[in-house]
Structure 1
Amino acid sequence: MSIFNKISFKDQAFKLRESAILDATTSILGDKGFDLMTMDDVANAVGISKPSLYKHFKSKEELVGEALIRLIDGAITYLADIDKDLPPVQKLRILLEWAMRVRLQGGMPFLPSTSTSVRSMLMKNISYVTRILKLNSQLEKLVIAAQKSGDLNPKLSCDVILFSYYSRTCDPAVDYLKTFSKMSDDAIVEHMLQVAFNGLTSNSAQ
């Protein structure tokens, strides 16, 4: 085996370990939250030493930032892959379905706005802010287009719709249904999408 192949294998192993670290971080954030999560928690979950963890990420802030950047990148990529000919409201529905399924699998820990320490930390992370602004701009255009077509209420503020949409990605009702109901993941997603886009009253059902 040449030295180039050895380097390539080493890099691949490094990336795989980094992915496992980010997976563990997301899971622990969901269970403990940012303030209670420690680097020891992450290292133990992955099965590596803390010095090995620090070879990948220099601090808890950097680690959490990268975990959330990966999540936003996933949303941006998923949105880009949705059929461009679909109506804007359908694109919003498909992306929200993706986000709910990610949440049901433990990959959507919380909204940063719920933690002042996390929000402050993330606002200093240029990479995170850049991605958030990109995603927000894309979703805002979809909301405005859906309002113009009448698929979303044009009397509502775009910001009200947009931030309500964001809150649905981390709606605790999803967790409660997963834990206490006998509904399947598919049923949970379908019912939550119904509530998000059609409301709770019977005359709004499609």
Structure 2
Amino acid sequence: MSILSKLSFKDQAFKIREIAILDATTRLLASKGFDLMTLDDVAVEVGISKPSLYKHFKSKDDLVGAAMIRLLDGALDWLDKVPADTPPSGTLRALLAWALETRLQGGLPLMPSTSPQVREMLTRNMRYVTRVLKLNSRLEKLIRQARAAGQLRSDLPEQVILFSYYSRTCDPAVEYLRLYAKMKDADIIKHVLDAFFEGVR
């Protein structure tokens, strides 16, 4: 039984509208960025009034924070479903493939990497910070396990591998390959993964 089915009809409608708001916010953040996106844009995209939007989120910062938290929760949920016998390097590769696929579908805005204002805003959001720390911990553990198994280079500092891994999710090469090389999304993901993992293998 889904979580929605346990709610009253009124609460279900509220939750469904909130999901639509977060979906619209993610798309607008990916296409316009934080600075250019407005709450009016979100309301129009969803097809609701601005006062209705405020019933869910009291500010742009709250809305963007919730959208970013949902992305982190998606990554953590994905990791929870990985079979226990998957090699650590395989898990790292598959998670990065998921992130790149999500990005190419417009569901992964290039934040907070491209905006100091967004970084500062998100570091004040403890729910966001808690999830970042949890994801960092999971990735660091996978990197240590992969290094110990000889799947990743031991001469590279762990933090170099970790932050290089994160940076691939916002690599502009993804858009350039789609726009100028006319590559299919599946090929873009494969080549970006190969380029990264051959460097750290």
CA distance in 2, matches of 1:195, 1:14: 44
Greater mean alpha carbon deviation, residues 126-135 or residues 186-195: 186-195
Pair 1:164 & 2:164 matched: yes
Greater mean alpha carbon deviation, residues 105-114 or residues 84-93: 105-114
Deviation at 1:87, TM superposition (A): 1.1
Deviation at 1:86, TM superposition (A): 1.2
Letter of the aligned partner of 1:174 in structure 2?
V
Letter of the aligned partner of 2:25 in structure 1?
T
2:42 aligned partner: 42
Deviation at 1:113, TM superposition (A): 3.1
Local SS of the residue matching 1:183 = coil
Deviations 1:100-126 (A, max 9, x none): 110010001013132111111111101
Pair 1:123 & 2:123 matched: yes
Which consecutive unaligned segments of at least 5 residues does structure 2 have? Answer: none
Letter of the aligned partner of 2:185 in structure 1?
D
Which consecutive unaligned segments of at least 5 residues does structure 1 have? Answer: none
Letter of the aligned partner of 2:27 in structure 1?
S
Letter of the aligned partner of 2:12 in structure 1?
Q
1:97 aligned partner: 97
CA distance in 1, matches of 2:37, 2:114: 16
CA distance in 2, matches of 1:157, 1:16: 44
Deviation at 1:171, TM superposition (A): 1.4
Aligned counterparts, 1:2-13, within 5 A: 8-13=8-13
Local SS of the residue matching 1:112 = coil
Deviations 1:168-196 (A, max 9, x none): 11211112222233221111111111111
Greater mean alpha carbon deviation, residues 55-64 or residues 103-112: 103-112
Aligned counterparts, 1:1-206, within 5 A: 8-199=8-199
Deviation at 1:154, TM superposition (A): 0.4
Letter of the aligned partner of 2:172 in structure 1?
P
Runs of 4+ in 1 over 4 A off after TM superposition: none
The structure that has the greater radius of gyration is: 1
* Residue correspondences, number: 195
CA distance in 1, matches of 2:107, 2:181: 20
| TM-score (norm: length of structure 1) | 0.91
Q: Which has the higher helix share?
A: 1
Please report the RMSD computed on the Cα atoms of aligned residues, expressed in angstroms.
1.4
CA distance in 2, matches of 1:179, 1:79: 31
